[in-house]
Amino acid sequence: MLERQIAQDKSERIYAAFMECLTEGTYESISIRKIAEKAGITYSSLYYYFRDKEDILLSYFDHYSVMIETEMRSVLENLTEEERNGITLPQLTSLLLKKASTFHNERANCRVEVNFATLAMRNENLAKKYGEFTQRQIDLFQWAIEFCGIRTSNPRIAAWLINQQVLGYVMHYAIFSEEAPPDQLLALYDASFC
């Protein structure tokens, strides 16, 4: 049990170092040595946990995906039945976008997504993983639509549209470092569905 906790702690330190490196440059500019140095571990110790830089990215993206899903589900499950049953698709989109904006307020998380999407265009393993991540997000948004009892002719298409709006926000924030205030997001998305 203690060994598992130590491994988890080291993985978290490696993820944090990886994220810090991403805020300083691109994925291509990051070296394993730099990640190990920032994590406070030896170069060889890092290889005990991860095969290479791509393995760190893939593992972090799995970790990140689970964190997003957990946060989003928690927000919806904590709504009262009255709040949940009265929510409209624009309000749901806005709520999920607000949660995404608080989760992504660390620019590094957004940069991970942008780097991952960019690298996925050139790497078959990453393209497959990014496709899985996108499907998980769409599944999550479809679950949210159904959980809130929102009537729509095609919940899957509605979930895909929510995903595109959240992805657009993430890309904009990663590139321009401009975070939209939640009230402005609500007004924007209410208007976009009218």
Say what the pLDDT of residue 95 is.
79
- Chain-centre distance for alpha carbon 61: 8
Domain extent for 89 = 53-192
How many separate domains does the chain show? 2
Angle at 136 between CA 134 and CA 138, to 5 degrees: 70
Q: Both 26 and 68 in a single domain?
A: no
Q: Both 70 and 156 in a single domain?
A: yes
Q: Both 20 and 98 in a single domain?
A: no
CATH code of the domain covering residue 38: 1.10.10.60
pLDDT along the chain (194 residues), means of 10: 71 88 82 94 89 88 83 87 86 77 62 76 84 89 91 89 78 64 55 50
* Token pair of 131 as six digits: 């496709």
Say what the pLDDT of residue 147 is.
92
Say what the pLDDT of residue 139 is.
93
Q: Both 63 and 17 in a single domain?
A: no
Kindly provide the b/e burial profile for residues 148-161, where b requires at least 16 CB atoms within 10 angstroms of the residue's own CB: bebeeeebeebbeb
Q: Both 176 and 91 in a single domain?
A: yes
- Taking Cα atoms as reference points, which of 158, 123, 125 lies closest to residue 139? 158
